[in-house]
Chains A and B, each alone.
Chain A
Amino acid sequence: MQARTSARRLQAAKNRPSSIVCRPSFVKAMMAVVQKDLAAEFRSRELLSAMLVFSLLVILIFNFALELDIKTRQSVTAGVLWTTFAFAGTLGLNRSMAVEKDRGCMDGLLLAPVDRAAIYFGKAISNLAFMLIVEAIVLPVYSMLYNVNLFQAGLLGVILLGSIGYTAVGTLLAAMSVQTRTRDVLLPILLFPVAIPVLLASVKASGGLLDGAEFSEILTPLNILIVYDVIFIAVAYMVFDFVVEE
């Protein structure tokens, strides 16, 4: 009986058609991760609501704590904004990777026959989307509270560049820190020193634009932002595979 079952299974194994997998393209796999993250987040709203409430609280606290005149308010705007974005971004980055790790979903992603960099880019794009959504809500609230016009094309461009750099390096470091028990503490400790160039350049460029500086005056921080973005996207592309493997 047992021998017959084994023989039957062996025959079935021989007759099995080959796998139906056709390795997905890099872009298709990346977009699948982005869509999955957005669908899950728009349903649960865990990550976005935490980031948003935190951001609004920070700008409210600064508003009441500083009690500044209009001119000084304008000069501190860049610093307050980027402090808010950086801390809120860290919350989102931590949560986004923790969701994958806690239920073993990271293993599910890593088991797919795709270039693992596609997983990194998918996660980075969804983290960037969450950060941009929060920024899009925070900016008008900040404008009203501080009586500062933040809707300038140049400033929005700087915010985009800064957010790309921050999420590029943040997603990589979050993938690293999420594998440790102290992930909540470890991510900011790892991220802030590495993100200093992007944060300083963003504050300088944003401050310059708000003060009405000439384009040539903010060229250096802008160049730093662009170079930082390119370098960290390239580094993450090369090392993500090693970061997630045991």
Chain B
Amino acid sequence: MIEVNQLVKRFGLKVVLRGADFNVRPGEFVALLGPNGAGKTTFLRILASLSRPSMGEVKVAGHRLPGEAAQVRAKLGVVSHLPLLYPDLTAEENLEFYARMYGISNFHLRVTEVLELIGLERRRKDLVRTFSRGMQQRLAIGRAVIHDPEVMLFDEPYTGLDQDASAMLDDVLRSVAAQGRTVVMTSHDLARAEDLATRFDILSRGVIAASATKKDLKRTNLLAFYKQALVD
């Protein structure tokens, strides 16, 4: 579903990604771990077609980037630590706007479905600026799944959430993944990712430095490797 070969990204003289290889099969939930500044967000922005790779090959849902970006965007949902929502619009208006941008024909029905999925049906007429951070993040997930994407990218979705909101987000993430979507989530919190993901990759110094499935997590000593990467 996602194929990345020898991905390089430079910002001027600064090289952020130095030939990263990354493959994800359909239905996998991959946690992309790494210390702050490892290039996780840049990596995800390239997969989301928001940033052009300097070198290397990127294919998402069978389409090449950046050449077939519009086709990729139609199959992709992105949630970041920013909600990407308009505070002066209601929850319903925000979802309707994005539904129209994705060309969903019967968007009123779809908006209701999504509001039910994220548990905000009763707050549909409330302005987003009156929502707590946790509710905004749930609505952000609703925005990202409005077009029922095959691939979902989560960039540090737990940033700024308290424990209750994080637990609620866990449930929404589980239901999103259970629908057969391919998910890539960046995080620096291994404990949180351990609960949800089926595979763990560590991005360090611009490359995927280690990878393990959930089953192999203990055997491969990935945890120790990750701690070392954080220290480095």
Interface residues of A (CB under 8 A from B): 2-3, 5-6, 9-25, 28-29, 32-33, 35-36, 39-41, 43-44, 99, 103-105, 107-115, 245-246
Residue of B at shortest CB range from A118? B101
Question: B143 contacts the other chain (Cβ, under 8 Å)?
Answer: yes
Chain B residues 65 to 93 lying within 8 A of chain A, measured CB to CB, are 70-71, 73-76, 78, 80, 82-89, 93
Shortest Cβ gap from B64 to chain A (Å): 15
Query: B32-40, B46-54, B118-126: which one contacts chain A?
Result: B46-54
A-B CB contacts (within 8 Å), total count: 149
B52 touches A246 (CB 8 A): yes
What are 28 sample pairs from A and B whose C-beta atoms fall under 8 A apart? A6-B198, A9-B178, A11-B27, A13-B150, A13-B182, A14-B26, A16-B179, A16-B180, A19-B74, A19-B149, A21-B103, A24-B103, A36-B89, A36-B93, A39-B89, A40-B86, A41-B88, A43-B88, A43-B127, A44-B88, A104-B80, A105-B84, A108-B143, A109-B101, A110-B50, A112-B98, A113-B73, A246-B51
Q: Residue B83 contacts which of A20, A103, A245 (CB distance < 8 angstroms)? A: A103
Measured between beta carbons, the chain B residues less than 8 angstroms from A20 are 104, 110, 147-148
Count, chain B residues at interface, CB 8 A: 54
Q: Residue A3 contacts which of B45, B110, B215 (CB distance < 8 angstroms)? A: B215
A103 touches B103 (CB 8 A): no
A28 touches B84 (CB 8 A): no
A10 touches B25 (CB 8 A): yes
B215 touches A2 (CB 8 A): yes
Measured between beta carbons, the chain A residues less than 8 angstroms from B50 are 107, 110-111, 245-246
B147 touches A111 (CB 8 A): no
Measured between beta carbons, the chain B residues less than 8 angstroms from A105 are 84-86
Residue of A at shortest CB range from B70? A113
Q: Whole-angstrom distance between the alpha carbons of A12 and B182 in the complex?
A: 10
B82 touches A113 (CB 8 A): no
Measured between beta carbons, the chain A residues less than 8 angstroms from B73 are 111-113
Question: B22 contacts the other chain (Cβ, under 8 Å)?
Answer: no
The 5 A-B pairs at the shortest CB distance, nearest first, are namely A12-B180, A13-B27, A104-B82, A24-B103, A108-B84
Supposing A9-B27, A13-B181, A22-B103 touch, asked if A245 and B52 sit within 8 A by C-beta, the answer is: yes
Residue of B at shortest CB range from A16? B180
Shortest Cβ gap from A83 to chain B (Å): 30
Shortest Cβ gap from A88 to chain B (Å): 21
A23 touches B84 (CB 8 A): no
Question: B225 contacts the other chain (Cβ, under 8 Å)?
Answer: no
Q: Whole-angstrom distance between the alpha carbons of A112 and B72 in the complex?
A: 10
Residue of B at shortest CB range from A25? B103
Supposing A39-B93, A103-B85, A111-B48 touch, asked if A9 and B70 sit within 8 A by C-beta, the answer is: no
Supposing A2-B215, A113-B71 touch, asked if A16 and B88 sit within 8 A by C-beta, the answer is: no
Q: Whole-angstrom distance between the alpha carbons of A10 and B1 in the complex?
A: 11
Measured between beta carbons, the chain B residues less than 8 angstroms from A113 are 70-71, 73-74, 102-103
A9 touches B75 (CB 8 A): no
Residue of A at shortest CB range from B76? A111
B180 touches A13 (CB 8 A): yes
Q: Whole-angstrom distance between the alpha carbons of A168 and B130 in the complex?
A: 34
Chain B residues 153 to 198 lying within 8 A of chain A, measured CB to CB, are 177-182, 198
Question: B29 contacts the other chain (Cβ, under 8 Å)?
Answer: yes
Supposing A40-B86, A245-B52, A246-B50 touch, asked if A10 and B27 sit within 8 A by C-beta, the answer is: yes
Supposing A23-B70, A108-B84, A110-B50 touch, asked if A40 and B89 sit within 8 A by C-beta, the answer is: yes
Residue of A at shortest CB range from B75? A19
Q: Whole-angstrom distance between the alpha carbons of A168 and B25 in the complex?
A: 44
Residue of B at shortest CB range from A43? B88
Other A-B pairs beyond A3-B215, A12-B179, A19-B150, 19, CB < 8 Å: A12-B178, A13-B182, A16-B179, A16-B180, A19-B147, A19-B149, A20-B147, A20-B148, A22-B105, A23-B74, A29-B100, A29-B103, A104-B83, A105-B86, A107-B80, A111-B49, A112-B98, A245-B51, A246-B51
